[in-house]
Structure 1
Amino acid sequence: MPRYAGACHCGAVRFEVEADPAEMTTCDCSLCVKRNALMIKVPQAALRLLAGGDQLATYVWNTGVARHHFCARCGIYTFHRKRAAPDAFGVNVFCLEGFDPAALPVRRTDGAGMSLQENVQ
């Protein structure tokens, strides 16, 4: 199974992904649209944080299930715990060394259509 080294822009957050994804995804929720991410879905056990846990900031909103992680130093989105699949991560393919985004198809996901919950922070 392929193994990819991953990092934010400044290198403070480093991680490793062992996965052989069949596709990449985009999402049309308000957050993903603004960050313009292209992601692969990996099981929780396939992502290993190597360094920078103290530099990893987390953004949580609405239901609180999805947890979006980014480097507090350079601001790059690295990966997130998925709301629709809490046992998996969405990983920013542009943080992965040697990953060829042109080699996989892209599937659009409907994040905007997911229910929003009122009065949830």
Structure 2
Amino acid sequence: MHHWRVSVQTRNGSCHCGNITFEFDTPVTGILECNCSICHRKGALWHAVGNEQFRIVSGEASLTTYQFGTRTAKHFFCSQCGTSTFSNPRIAPHMWVVNLRCVDDIDLAALPRQQFDGRNWEEAARQLMTNRQAQRTP
């Protein structure tokens, strides 16, 4: 049996003005596209990253946080240019999701997109977690 290892490279991202920079070390194999009221309006395309793989490199003092609804999620953006760079999502507030539109050298058109029905959050979250558990079970 062969054990294949996915190559992990450090990915870099930033806001528009370059004040906020960040990096993460997880392979980007797909996109999560949410249609909730905020994600739809800002056009964010998400990739989940664990705390151990995510680092804010510069500009942390310039980050501004927006919260709404249950106030569980934290949506971070640059106070200078307004770019939404990353969030702590409601479904996993202890983790990060990075906005792939802010990441260097990613071909968004080449990545498969998974739709997340954030307008019906409770059902969509339940379905996403069930699908992720099924993928982990042999």
TM-score of the superposition, structure 1-length normalised?
A: 0.89
Alignment of 1:24-103 (within 5 A): 24-103=31-110
List gaps (5 residues or longer) in structure 2: 1-7, 123-138
| CA RMSD, Structure 1 to Structure 2 (Å) | 1.2
Give the ranges of 4+ consecutive aligned residues of structure 1 lying more than 3 Å apart after TM superposition: none
Task: State the one-letter code of the partner of 1:21.
Answer: V
Structure 1 residue ranges without an equivalent (≥5): 116-121
Deviations 1:28-47 (A, max 9, x none): 11011110111111112211
* TM-score of the pair, normalised by structure 2: 0.79
Deviation at 1:87, TM superposition (A): 2.6
**Bigger Rg, which one:** 2
Q: Contact between 1:4 and 1:99, CA under 8 Å: does it hold in 2?
A: no
Give the share of equivalent positions with the same residue, in percent: 36
Comparing 68-77 and 45-54, the one that deviates more:
45-54
Instruction: Give secondary structure in 2 for the equivalent of 1:114.
Output: helix
The structure richer in strand per residue is 1
Aligned-partner SS, 2:120? coil
